[in-house]
Structure 1
Amino acid sequence: MASLMSQRHELESHLEQAVRLQSPVLRLPSELLSSVFVMGIMDIEEENPVMVSTLMLVCRYWSEVALNTPILWAKISVSPHDSLDKARRKLERSKSCPLDVAINFGPRMDYATSVTEQIIHAMDLIRPAIWRTKSFRLSVPNRPQAHAALLRCQEDAPLLETLSIRIFHSMQDDHYSSPPLPLFNGHTPRLQSCSLTSFNFGWDHTLVSRLRVLKLGGYFNNFTPSAHILLDILRQCPGLEEFALRNVSNVDSDLCVVRSNEFDSPPLPKTVHLRQLRKVSFYYAGIDLTRQLMGQISFPNLESLELCYLENVTPVLQLLYSQALTRLPLSHLRIETCLFNEMKFVNLLRRLPSLVALELVDVEDASSNLLKGFSSSQPWICPRLEALTIDGCTALDWDSLRTFIESRLPANPHAYARYHNSPMSITSSASATAAAHARSKAHQVPRKGPQNVFLGPQRLRTIDVTRCNQISKEMVQWLRMYVADVKCEPAKGVWGEPIMP
């Protein structure tokens, strides 16, 4: 009986295995299954660390396939939540696959000694694999820790494409001003994106040349770069597509006056032509430095511009107007906590027919005259405008805002059928023919021709009236009748409580 029972169990196990082998998934070749894993995990925008381990728990075959797929282990992360042992396992399993390395320790200064030790151990672990590192991101509390880590980055990095160095606390570490050069032995032929925050690299051109994305920030006092230095760097990046300058102090007023005078009479060296530049952002970078840079750059393909905390930006608006006289396909403009001449701003907007999104945040000079200009049809200002933000702009009155919204409504309601989300919203007939006809009308692309010139401006899709105390609840309800997306959050008090108008 015991022999028969064992034979029965053996037969059942063979039958179960045979049934499982009939599954199409289990019959997939390991190479194809590995590709499925890669597409399923790498296509996720936010990294999901549970995904790989979950796949490995399905069965032994899947676990073996996942372990033998190096790209699944190519993201190496060291942080308070990611241990060195985990990074070591991933490093071994990634074999010779290009790596994405991230060493991330927040701004907390509580355990400075232990954090420094973890950073050093992490760099000692990653150092032999620098030659196959595709992206390297370092975020540390202070400058000594950054230098301790970067002193271990002296090998060539032939595959490095993205470099990000962020130092949270940099005001107290002036004795670490000398850069640990040359980084990566000065050999980064594929470097395209570079983001440096409070890291003093001596403004070495070998590190910031031939870039497509350049972001600089967190330079104060004596470490603030001059316009000449920045222009020399930009001149080394003729294919630059994105440039950001953030939190750069301009404390020496005497030098600022001299630079301003130099800008007005004898101009700086020849203009830097950046034909591929698409996005520019200046955030607390000083109006003098911003004006000098914008005055010496040619940007015929600029699509996005952000001007934040720059005091009076009227000179910059004049430079934009001069560029718009030839070519300026600007589609997104954001101005935050700045002053400007409203008439000159309106004149600039008249030269920006391609503008789609306009963001004004805490702008006191934005009055009702601005919205009245948008409402005028002689000719239409920014006819393609679809998103408007007037966050904290309390000088605008309700009448001008209502007139602006009404002026952007189509005279023919069928002219904007594309705003309907589905055919069900525009048909009540149960007929399949009617539904198909409505679906074809909803997806129909309008033909380009002379008749499109007289269609008028685009209908507003989004409006943000956050912290506009002059806008009541009833007014917000009226806006929601004519605008698809209305954002409205009341102003908040000291303790975060809403302050109702």
Structure 2
Amino acid sequence: MASLLKNSALTVAPENSDAFKTPLRFTIGHVISRLKTFLSIELATLFSLSTATMAGDPPDFGAMYDADLKQRTAQLMRENPGISPEAAVKKAEAVLRANNPFIPPTHGCPVNDLPPELLAHIFQLGRKMDEEDDDEYDEYDEGVGLQDEWTDEEDGDSDADEEEEEEDEDVHMESPEKRTTALPEAAMPPDDSDEDEEEEADAPDLAFQVLVSHVCHAWREIALGTHTLWTTLQFGSHLNVEKAQAWLERAQGLPLDIYIDCTTVHGPDHDAEDEEMPPPTIPQQIAAAAAGFGIVLSFTSTATPDDAPQPEEPQPQPCIPLEDLIIIMDMITPHVQQWRLLEITVNYYSYMYEVLKRLALCPAAPLLEELGLYSYDETEEYETFQPADLATPFLPFHGIAPRLNNVALWGVHLAWDESLSLLQGLRELELAYHAKDVRPSFAALRAILDASPEIELLSLCLSGTTGDMEPFEVPSLRSLVLCYLESEYAKPFMRAVALPTLQELTLDLQEEDYTEFVTQLATPPPGETRSLLSKLTTLKLSGLPCSKTAAELVMSQLSGLQRIDLNAAAEEELRFFELLQQVEVGKPVYCPKLDTLRIAGVDGAAVRKLVAARKAAAAPVTRVLVSNRDFVDPKDEKWLRANVDELEFFEPSDSEEEVVDADDEMDEDDGS
């Protein structure tokens, strides 16, 4: 395997070559990308060969070589009519041997001369790039990958036979937002021009640090000795205790980032040992997405009459069962002094209850900086917490986590008054989906904010406080998110809080008329001459039902706005989009400093009209982001690319899709 790298993946350019004119990160990035490609292909090849051997059909390498030699010799003779058969054979042999990954290069390999420190740095960059790719393109994996069957034998180094073999598998986990399913190959257009990508798609999906540790003895020693490569533990499929323990040991006491995802991802009939599950069909994916899951449930192709009795749908099961979650928690809690990040996502509060019980028993978490506890338990009861027998509040880490600065609690409540020692010095705080009887008191939230003088983001989503509110100020807050709040709570909250440095406001308010709330936002606070809206540089609107007059009042206040994100699928939000392109003689254009527009819910023709209108009014939009669910005619796309500096298409969030789907359903009902 190492010979493959030595032949093609890593070469060192002379100092006077053009390669040294490129930034090191860029050059190494290309090396790492090629390195992972070649390693993945090599692993896929070896896996295929081992599978064929175990099946009783070992490959005949001699016959394969003879066939390749014959084919290349014939090709050389066709291309060079004057060449003799002997010369053609000799030349073909030289080419085959030069590009054979199983034959070491005859002139050595420059990568062997790199100091271990540089290789370790390259490995760390490779891991970072690998994680960045996962964040952007992560496709849900049922948790049974080739790595679960791979044995950790050192390949490519004949001198390493006596070395002790270690298990070297990855520990899986995906973050809460990552639940997409790859399209089956049949649904994708063939691309014969890029064989490398096709081969890479079939390769085992191992973590970068695992790949490099399989190359040779020297690389393995460097990888295992670079402890920062093993500090991220991701639990998102079927538990393998030995793998997790191996990574914990390799981290050697360094700070750990731990992700545990227990959300529902497959049906109860899923067989964890079945690696031959066919890829989902397009209808299956559409049906799964419509059902609110980023996964594929079990479907049958047998049609039944509409009036026939329908079998009860099986309840989906979490990818990590409760007993495995308990094992994971019991395995990682002895290392609580190493935790830097802890993110746990569940679908059922009974899971989170077990987590909270164990966090309450943990001693101090001296290195913990980020804590995210997400419970997606579906309920429509927000007056009192359900189930009532699990309502007991806990205090994690005995209230001691001195470095904690980012906290997200979705559907998870704490012993708020006792948690003041824990929730201090924060930079970001997210509170979401709390029943009214388990929300913090106004006094508790104010104490948390007062004890966090550098807090920059506060998010309240179907959450908030209880009790009477008194005026207070959060001078450091830069970003405020208000979602699904009742008007009767939002108005007194915004009346009480003073936010002198607020720059970004996100509003997703539904099912009420928020005209009074909007008017309040556009009115300068007592003793001030400017409203909160006039100071904003970014406004994100996904829901704000209000009158047309109120919408105009909002837009008139946004004199310093540079970016606006709009979900304009609903009529109320469409008003704001239309006002952006409104140009009247003798009147200033709304949002004169606007340069970035992110829009969902309108087609390309409407976006083109807005861009043209603002360009004519000398208030041009230079960057446009359009939802990839909205239709954009190729002509409109071409025009937009010619008239803005940057045009991008983005994947809308779940909430944006929900609004669009609901709007489509209403249109269908109206047309029926």
**TM-score for both structures, normalised by structure 1:** 0.71
Q: Secondary structure at the match of 1:134?
A: strand
2:595 partner letter: E
Number of residue pairs the alignment of both structures matches: 418
Q: Distance in 1 between matches of 2:342 and 2:251?
A: 16
The more displaced of 457-466 and 82-91 is 457-466
Q: 1:356 to 1:49 in 2, by over 3 A?
A: farther
1:279 to 456, 465, 479: 479
1:45 aligns with 2:132: yes
Q: CA deviation at 1:155?
A: 1.3
Q: 1:476 to 1:176 in 2, by over 3 A?
A: same
User: In the alignment, which residue of structure 1 is the partner of 2:421?
Assistant: 206
Q: CA deviation at 1:133?
A: 0.6
Q: 1:233 to 1:49 in 2, by over 3 A?
A: farther
Q: Distance in 2 between matches of 1:466 and 1:129?
A: 43
Q: Distance in 2 between matches of 1:465 and 1:123?
A: 40
2:623 to 450, 454, 461: 461
Q: CA deviation at 1:205?
A: 1.9
1:233 aligns with 2:448: yes
1:332 to 538, 554, 565: 538
Counterpart mapping for 1:374-413 below 5 A: 374=583, 378-388=587-597, 391-392=600-601, 404-409=610-615
1:26 partner letter: N
Q: CA deviation at 1:295?
A: 1.9
Q: Distance in 1 between matches of 2:619 and 2:515?
A: 27
Cα distance per residue 1:338-359 (max 9 Å; x no partner): 2123333333333322212321
1:361 aligns with 2:568: yes
Counterpart mapping for 1:23-422 below 5 A: 23-43=109-129, 44-47=131-134, 49-81=206-238, 83-107=240-264, 115-153=321-359, 154-169=362-377, 171=379, 172-181=386-395, 183-203=396-416, 204-225=419-440, 227-248=442-463, 268-272=469-473, 274-310=474-510, 311-321=512-522, 322=524, 325=530, 328-358=534-564, 359-365=566-572, 366-367=574-575, 370-371=579-580, 373-374=582-583, 378-388=587-597, 391-392=600-601, 404-409=610-615
Q: What residue ranges of structure 2 are gaps of 5+ in the alignment?
A: 1-103, 135-204, 266-314, 380-385
Q: Is the 8 A contact 2:263 2:318 kept in 1?
A: no
1:177 partner letter: A
Q: What residue ranges of structure 1 are gaps of 5+ in the alignment?
A: 1-15, 263-267, 412-455
Cα distance per residue 1:275-307 (max 9 Å; x no partner): 322221112122222222222222222222111
| Larger strand share, 1 or 2 | 1
Cα distance per residue 1:215-270 (max 9 Å; x no partner): 111212423445554334333322111111123399xxxx9xxx8xx7xxxxx323
1:45 partner letter: E
Q: CA deviation at 1:50?
A: 2.4
Q: Distance in 2 between matches of 1:206 and 1:403?
A: 54
Q: Distance in 2 between matches of 1:149 and 1:465?
A: 37
Q: CA deviation at 1:117?
A: 1.1
Q: Secondary structure at the match of 1:151?
A: helix
Q: Secondary structure at the match of 1:312?
A: coil
Q: Is the 8 A contact 1:158 1:190 kept in 2?
A: yes
1:150 partner letter: L
User: In the alignment, which residue of structure 2 is the partner of 1:438?
Assistant: none
Q: Distance in 1 between matches of 2:426 and 2:407?
A: 7
Q: 1:98 to 1:466 in 2, by over 3 A?
A: closer
Q: Is the 8 A contact 1:302 1:330 kept in 2?
A: yes
Q: Distance in 1 between matches of 2:641 and 2:114?
A: 52
Identity rate of aligned residues, in percent?
A: 24
User: RMSD of the alignment, in Å?
Assistant: 4.1
Cα distance per residue 1:387-443 (max 9 Å; x no partner): 44564479xx97xx87754332258xxxxxxxxxxxxxxxxxxxxxxxxxxxxxxxx
Q: Distance in 1 between matches of 2:446 and 2:586?
A: 41
Q: CA deviation at 1:70?
A: 0.8
2:393 partner letter: P
Q: Distance in 2 between matches of 1:319 and 1:230?
A: 22
Q: Is the 8 A contact 2:227 2:252 kept in 1?
A: yes
Q: Distance in 1 between matches of 2:365 and 2:209?
A: 28
Cα distance per residue 1:293-346 (max 9 Å; x no partner): 222222222222111134333344334332680675422212223212333333
Q: Distance in 2 between matches of 1:326 and 1:93?
A: 54
Q: Is the 8 A contact 1:167 1:199 kept in 2?
A: yes
Q: Distance in 2 between matches of 1:79 and 1:476?
A: 39
Cα distance per residue 1:52-104 (max 9 Å; x no partner): 12111222101110001111000012232452222111001111111001111
Moved over 6 A (4+): 465-469, 471-481, 486-492
Q: Secondary structure at the match of 1:152?
A: helix
Q: Distance in 1 between matches of 2:128 and 2:515?
A: 45
Q: 1:62 to 1:481 in 2, by over 3 A?
A: closer
Q: Is the 8 A contact 1:55 1:66 kept in 2?
A: yes
Q: CA deviation at 1:209?
A: 1.9
